[in-house]
Structure 1
């Protein structure tokens, strides 16, 4: 069943400039975690992407930024920024104990969406 993460938030994120998407994530997670999530080897690159006149991330990086943003907004608005950050960093049973950071980097988008939706519904850990 689609939720705000898979429908409404997707549309809002898709309409945003990628620099703004990066800025939200850098502010919430920090450039090092955003670099890890996107697969960038350069920890400073996310801060550059976050600048309105900064370089545009590649298609792969953009896809991961957009997924991360959808999840970040859903969690931070439903819970808090602290809970959202902890969710990104912790091993997740839906993701076979991988972190969401790792799953996003590995392009496991449908699993990440399933994991966040399960968390937001309050499903017991599986």
Structure 2
């Protein structure tokens, strides 16, 4: 069994910050993120948060936390100059999962 959703949120907040996690999770307030982390509330899109954690951990392992944060917030040429965080927030995961994973792998592999 994988991580509990609350643990996914805790790790993601540690890597990307509560504001980014709120955006990825489709909410406007970080209060919701705190409630997800404590288990008081379940996010509407836990699968998107899990995917974001997978990407963040991959980039952090190969590069650094700071570069992972920058990657999520920056326009990405491999994604048609769109911002990964915005794609995760605004699009169905099924439509952006493959291109985001490919872009993250390319970025993480650069030395």
> What's the TM-score bracket when you normalise by the shorter of the two chains?
0.7 to 0.9
In structure 1, runs of 5+ residues without a counterpart are 1-13
Deviation string 1:62-81 (CA, Å, 9 cap, x unpaired) is: 01101110001111111111
The structure 1 residue matched to 2:27, chosen from 4, 16, 40, is: 40
Residues paired across the two proteins, number: 107
Q: Within 5 Å, give how 1:2-41 maps onto structure 2.
A: 15-41=2-28
1:110 aligns with 2:88: no
Q: Is the 8 A contact 2:75 2:83 kept in 1?
A: yes
Deviation string 1:17-52 (CA, Å, 9 cap, x unpaired) is: 11000001112222111111121133321121111x
Q: Is the 8 A contact 1:90 1:99 kept in 2?
A: yes
Residue aligned with 1:40, SS: coil
The structure 2 residue matched to 1:54, chosen from 35, 40, 52, is: 40
Q: Is the 8 A contact 1:95 1:103 kept in 2?
A: no
Q: State the TM-score, normalizing by the size of structure 1.
A: 0.77
In structure 2, runs of 5+ residues without a counterpart are none
Which structure features the higher share of helix residues?
2
Q: Is the 8 A contact 1:19 1:50 kept in 2?
A: yes
Correspondence for 2:70: 86
Between the aligned partners of 2:42 and 2:25, the Cα distance in structure 1 is: 13
Q: State the TM-score, normalizing by the size of structure 2.
A: 0.86
